[in-house]
Amino acid sequence: MLEVKNVTKYYGTNLAVNNLNFQVKDGEIFGLLGVNGAGKTTTFRMITGLLDKTEGEILFNGKKVDYSVTDQIGFLTEERSLLTKLTVLEQAKFYGGLKGLTNDEIETRLDYLLEKLEIKDYKTRKIKELSKGNQQKVQFIMSIINKPKLLILDEPFSGLDPINIELFKNLILELKEEGTSIIFSSHRMDHVEYFCESLCILVKGNTVLSGNLKKIKSSFAKKNIIIEGDVDKDKLMSIKGVLNVEKSSQTYKVSIENNDISDSVFKYVSKCKNIKKFIVEEPTLNEIFIEKVGGAYEK
């Protein structure tokens, strides 16, 4: 389990992370979110021991993160850090060697991961000859070559097509099943919703929201109503407590201030024709993120 306790980081007088607290259990995927400059990279570097904290404590399985535990950590950074003149195998031997693995262990694990990501044929190819997406796969492989117990994934799907995203997803879920604690960071809220049970949203180093995603969603006052049928957008908009109405090809998405407003919307919709659907839904993480981050920016 990873524990981040009251962690603060100043760069000179610039406060980059302010009193951050969260935990990631074994086999849990935790979302660390924020816009550019929120303090995510600083946090990842402190967790992996690459950067000193100003205050606070970071423990992994009860121990401070130092050289004795770095073998158990994997870090997929947003920036690529591959030695592109090497072949995939040479690169794996280099990274795996740094993590204390033998050449045999490295090759067995590499073969497995290349197979899983469907790039077996690239084992002895130079990295610079690979496409951007395949380089991203190699980068991912390097971060998990040691079967890490703690894994940080910063924008893991950048540059990948939907099919390759599925291959990555399967491997991430496999690591979760094996008990790896995973920190997942992405600007794609749909991916965060897919993976993360709990999360934390940072704005300028401050935590503006944290906790269990289901609880966050249900406690969020705003809801959406999905309607399919012959309704009038202007009439919906004129109902008190309706914040917005969005029409897509078949359906209307009506954002309401809180659950009580759904009664007034239902009263109107029940008089309309051809109604096939009326569903009150929790807000999406995207909506929550925009509300929380937008609000915090205004301060």
Residues that bind ligand ATP (CB under 6 A): 11, 14, 16, 34, 36-42
273-281 and 29-34 as β-strands: parallel, antiparallel, unpaired?
unpaired
Please say which residue, 187 or 214, places its beta carbon nearer to ligand ATP: 187
How many residues are present in the chain? 299
d(CA 155, CA 168): 12
Under a CB-based contact definition with an 8 Å cutoff, are residues 84 and 33 in contact?
no
Least Å distance between CB 42 and ligand ATP? Answer: 3
Residue with tokens 């086999």: 27
CB of 264 to ligand ATP, least distance (A): 41
Query: What's the CA gap between 45 and 60, in Å, rounded?
Result: 14
The helix (H) or strand (E) run that includes residue 278 is strand 273-281
Q: How far is the CB of 187 from ligand ATP (least distance, A)?
A: 8
Look-up: residue for tokens 């079967």? 147
Using the minimum distance from each CB to ligand ATP, give the nearer residue, 34 or 156.
34
Pairing label, strands 150-154, 73-76: parallel
Question: Is the separation of the CB atoms in 183 and 198 below 8 Å?
Answer: no
Residue 11 CB, nearest approach to ligand ATP (Å): 3
Nearer of residues 38 and 150 to ligand ATP, judged by Cβ = 38
Task: Kindly state the smallest distance separating residue 39's Cβ from ligand ATP, in Å.
Answer: 4
Strands lying side by side in the sheet with 55-60: 14-24, 2-11, 55-60, 63-64
| Nearest distance from C-beta of residue 58 to ligand ATP, angstroms | 15
Distances (CA, A) of 233 to 36, 137, 267, 278: 36, 46, 15, 15
Phi, psi of 235, rounded to the nearest 5 degrees: -65, -40
What tokens does 93 get? 């031997």
Are the beta carbons of 32 and 183 closer than 8 angstroms? yes
What token pair was written down for 289?
Answer: 């993120």
Judged by CB, which is closer to ligand ATP: 151, or 242? 151
Taking the least distance from each CB to ligand ATP, the nearer of 41 and 198 is: 41
How far, in whole angstroms, is CA 157 from its chain's centroid?
10
**CB of 2: closest distance to ligand ATP in angstroms?**
18
Which residues, including other chains, have CB under 8 Å from residue 39's CB and lie 6 or more apart? 9, 16, 17, 20, 202, 204, 205
In the complex, minimum distance from the CB of residue 296 to ligand ATP, in angstroms, rounded to a whole number: 14
Compare residues 37 and 211 and give the one whose CB is closer to ligand ATP. 37
Q: Closest CB to ligand ATP among 44 and 278?
A: 44
Nearer Cβ to ligand ATP (16/269): 16
